[in-house]
Amino acid sequence: MTFTSWLDQTMDYFAKESGIPVEDYSSMVGGMGIGAASSFLIDLFTKGLLNKLLNLGIGVTTAGIGIWGKPAPPRLRKELIPWGMFNLLQVLDMKPSDALELRQSVDDLVSGLKLGDVGKVTEALLRSPDELKAMLGSLTGLKLGEYAALSPPTMPPSAPLARPTLEAPPAPPAPTMPAAPPEIPALRRATSNSYQPPAPSITKRLFRSTLS
């Protein structure tokens, strides 16, 4: 029984370049790949304490069979050791976010057990549907439940083509006439009949009356 024999042809070139037998090279790469896949599935559905316990259990079991499982085929044991070591490293890999999630999981688990709340215990160990959607959305870049219609972009309507018509062009506006200048009354020339000399002054009239 083996898990990685189908990788021999793909890994043959790299095994020759590294000087490692192809069976050993494929077993190492395939075992780490299986460990990564199992760890991804565990992270996807579990969190906190249960996540660490599952990685620890799988890692100890597979690595233990690879080391002490004498009846197992040698190639299978070579595959199980890197598989188990990958899961064991996930237990030791404690990022700040993992530490906070683990602490919250333990607190919720203890509180749920004291209250006998099965829902709280489940929430402390398994991811909720909302958390699962958020994780899948972060991987795919899409929000689950929201489907955007992929339609080709619509082009703006084109302007209608101008068609020749038989109608006559509009007549130009009639020219406006300039305003007439204001009428100035004609000056009349003075004649002898119409001319009236100015009246003498009072002084001259008194002087004339004195002389007379």
pTM of the model: 0.64
Burial of 31 per CB tally in 10 Å (0-12, 13-18, 19+): buried
> Which residue did the predictor score with more confidence, 185 or 58?
58
Residue 71 covered by a domain: yes
Residue 188 covered by a domain: no
pLDDT tens, position by position, 116-140:
999 999 999 999 999 888 888 877 7
Structure tokens at 155: 């082009």
Q: Which domain holds residue 107?
A: 5-140
Residue 157 covered by a domain: no
Residue 112 covered by a domain: yes
Count how many domains the chain has: 1
> Which residue did the predictor score with more confidence, 141 or 90?
90
Q: Which CA distances in Å does 129 have to 40, 133, 138?
A: 17, 6, 14
pLDDT of residue 95: 85
Residue 180 covered by a domain: no
